[in-house]
Amino acid sequence: MQIFTRPPFARSSLRDNSTLPPEINVTNDENKNDMGESIMETNTTNFGIKGSVIAEESHSDVNNVVKEVSVTSSEKAEKSVAEPLTTINKFEQESFVLNSTVSINFGILGLGQAGGKITDSFAVCRLPGKNQPTYPAIAVNTCLADLNALRNIPDSQRVALPNYRLGAMRQPELGYAAISQDGVLEDLVTNRVPRVFEQVDHVIVSAGIGGGTGTGGIQTVCEALAEKGYSVTAMITLPRNLDSVEEKQNANVFLGTLQELMYNGLVSSVIVVDNNLLYNRYVNQAKDSGIDMDWKTASNMEIVRIINEMNATTGLPSPTTFDGAELTKVLTSGGCVTFGKARISLPDPALLESLALELSNILNQGYLAEYKNLAEARYAGVQLIMPPNLEFGPMMERTIIDELKKKMPTLLGTYVGHAQIEGQNELLVYTIVSGMGLPGRAQELSQLLQVEVEKINAADAKRTQFTPNEVTVMNPFQKSAKKRTARNPFAKESSSGKAENPFGNK
């Protein structure tokens, strides 16, 4: 496939048949780093611990295939995790999180800048009373500056892909080449990952699919982890309307592959983060509240908040929660996963009506992306967090199940639970739904891109007096019949195994 808007000279800077860009070498000087840690706060507690910033010289060997940013030994990794905290992020969470452990031990692996920063935000979470990260985290990037800018991931868990220290220039083929260098992936999945993710139940691999490193690497990493027996969720961010044609184009091409990854069963599920939705929500909230911070940081907190809170609800000491095994089932049953959260003030004289309304709203809107295709869902879980004096009666259960069935008539599994928490004075409603195809935003992006590409092509044709004869933007929604069987669209046995990599043979 040829895309007219990508200038042919962008790739011609590569030597013939070479996967490496010329004149870029990793030096030890680049490997210096400051590291600080921050802590996730609840909205009821302030942690005021302060400490010193650690600055260490790199001990990496330039000849090593995969280079740690600065600290090499696992002993140092443990030490750096336990260092006193240097920065405090105001990272608000519901207070019930304080009384809960999490049920699923996620390991988070981030690729590229977006993936790394999201992973860095996960690394802020702490279990109650412990100064240990809730989620072990690994950040992988071509760009050393991006790795150095992370604040919460220990140095030994930052992996610099050699020979591309400036980044992959938003070219997924460079990201793919970077992860495909001899020994790089092998070192990651056989050395680093087992060491850091020793206690992990489920791995979330995150990347923004508008750039080069994350987009080019995420498929390869997910497949390699799946082959090593890890249960893997791919988490991707989609570009905003404001983002460039390049970013939309990269996303558009990759979404086709992502669908194949989903349908051939190598990833357990996909979490789509619609940056456009998070950006608009942030801008509206910022207008009302006068908050002034980077929307990406705020959005990354939103991602961590909803996943960590959902995970914590299933770890609460209550005999009737939607539990960790059930959450695992929803999360590993294939297709996309969407989350929802609502808050109902109490007392509410029309509580059942409010519950039905809020449930309907959060299912329609989605916390991280909006799904108009919820009817395709296979599994749904609902968790209520309530005060001890509120009873969870059959009418409440009925209200929830009716609402789920209305929106998702072909669900295979429904899990409804609740926990009564001392000190809780509102009703919190959490939802998680899985099994759908991609959200509407994927199609919308493709259409936006088509319009922008046509405009650019028209302008170019005018300028050069040349009419291109091959102008295509790949439609990622052409379903591959071979890989979608009516019996089980996410079946492992279908297809030859791996999804085709759009960046692999360029």
Ligand X SMILES: Nc1nc2c(ncn2[C@@H]2O[C@H](COP(=O)(O)OP(=O)(O)OP(=O)(O)O)[C@@H](O)[C@H]2O)c(=O)[nH]1
Binding site for Mg ion (CB under 5 A): 113, 143, 167
Contact pick of 37, 68, 155, 243 for ligand X (by CB under 6 A): 243
Name the minimum Å distance from CB 179 to Mg ion: 14
Nearer to Mg ion, 251 or 377 (CB): 251
- Structure tokens of 426? 């509102």
Residue with tokens 């010289």: 57
CA–CA gap between residue 121 and residue 153 (Å, rounded)? 9
Question: Which region holds residue 163: left if phi is over 0, alpha if psi is between -120 and 50, else beta?
Answer: left
Nearer to ligand X, 142 or 163 (CB): 142
Q: Which 19-48 positions form the footprint of ligand X (CB under 6 A)?
A: none
Nearer to Mg ion, 143 or 184 (CB): 143
CA–CA gap between residue 311 and residue 105 (Å, rounded)? 9
- Residue 126 bridge partners (DSSP): 133
| Sole window of 184-192, 204-212, 391-399, 461-469 interacting with ligand X (rule: CB under 6 A) | 204-212
Examine residue 414 and tell whether it contacts ligand X (CB under 6 A): no
Nearer to ligand X, 173 or 403 (CB): 173
Number of Cβ within a 10 Å radius of residue 300: 24
CA–CA gap between residue 382 and residue 431 (Å, rounded)? 5
Contacts of 77 (CB under 8 A, 6+ apart): 71, 154, 155, 156, 157, 196
Site string for ligand X, 280-309 (x = CB under 6 A): ----------------x--xx---------
Number of Cβ within a 10 Å radius of residue 345: 9
Per DSSP bridges, beta strands 336-345 and 426-436 are antiparallel
Name the minimum Å distance from CB 452 to ligand X: 15
The C-alpha torsion from 86 through 90 and 94 to 98, rounded to 10°, is 20
Name the minimum Å distance from CB 75 to ligand X: 30
CA–CA gap between residue 224 and residue 194 (Å, rounded)? 13
Nearer to ligand X, 246 or 358 (CB): 246
Contact criterion met (CB below 8 Å) for 32 and 53:
no
- DSSP character for 190? I
- The CA-based diameter of the chain, rounded to the nearest angstrom, is 75
Helices (H) and strands (E) in the chain, counts: 15, 13
Q: Which of 194-203 are b and which e, b meaning 16 or more Cβ less than 10 Å from the residue's Cβ?
A: eebbeebbbb
Q: Which does 269 bind (CB under 5 to 8 A by kind): ligand X, Mg ion, none?
A: none
DSSP characters over 150-168: -SSS-GGGEEEPTT-TT--
Nearer to ligand X, 9 or 466 (CB): 9
Contacts of 287 (CB under 8 A, 6+ apart): none
Nearer to Mg ion, 167 or 217 (CB): 167
Alpha helices in 183-243 (DSSP H): 184-187, 193-196, 213-227
Q: Which does 212 bind (CB under 5 to 8 A by kind): Mg ion, ligand X, none?
A: ligand X
Nearer to ligand X, 235 or 382 (CB): 235
| Sole window of 68-76, 205-213, 344-352, 407-415 interacting with ligand X (rule: CB under 6 A) | 205-213
Examine residue 239 and tell whether it contacts ligand X (CB under 6 A): yes
Site string for ligand X, 149-188 (x = CB under 6 A): ------------------xxxx------------------
Examine residue 275 and tell whether it contacts ligand X (CB under 6 A): yes
Name the minimum Å distance from CB 192 to Mg ion: 20
CA–CA gap between residue 209 and residue 227 (Å, rounded)? 22
Nearer to ligand X, 54 or 236 (CB): 236
Q: Which of 169-179 are b and which e, b meaning 16 or more Cβ less than 10 Å from the residue's Cβ?
A: bbbbbbbbbbb
Name the minimum Å distance from CB 298 to ligand X: 9
| Sole window of 239-247, 411-419, 423-431, 480-488 interacting with ligand X (rule: CB under 6 A) | 239-247
DSSP characters over 281-300: HHHHHHHHH---S-HHHHHH
| Sole window of 44-52, 99-107, 202-210, 372-380 interacting with ligand X (rule: CB under 6 A) | 202-210
Name the minimum Å distance from CB 365 to ligand X: 18
Contact criterion met (CB below 8 Å) for 134 and 102:
yes
Name the minimum Å distance from CB 144 to Mg ion: 10
Q: Which does 296 bind (CB under 5 to 8 A by kind): Mg ion, ligand X, none?
A: ligand X
Name the minimum Å distance from CB 34 to Mg ion: 19
Site string for ligand X, 209-228 (x = CB under 6 A): -xxxxx--------------
- DSSP character for 375? G
Site string for ligand X, 86-125 (x = CB under 6 A): --------------------------xxx--xx-------
Q: Which does 170 bind (CB under 5 to 8 A by kind): Mg ion, ligand X, none?
A: ligand X
Name the minimum Å distance from CB 221 to ligand X: 12
Which element (helix H / strand E) includes 470? Answer: none
Name the minimum Å distance from CB 213 to Mg ion: 5
Binding residues for ligand X, rule CB under 6 A, total: 27
CA–CA gap between residue 34 and residue 288 (Å, rounded)? 35
Q: List contacts with ligand X (CB under 6 A).
A: 112-114, 117-118, 142-143, 167-170, 207-208, 210-214, 237, 239, 243, 247, 273, 275, 296, 299-300
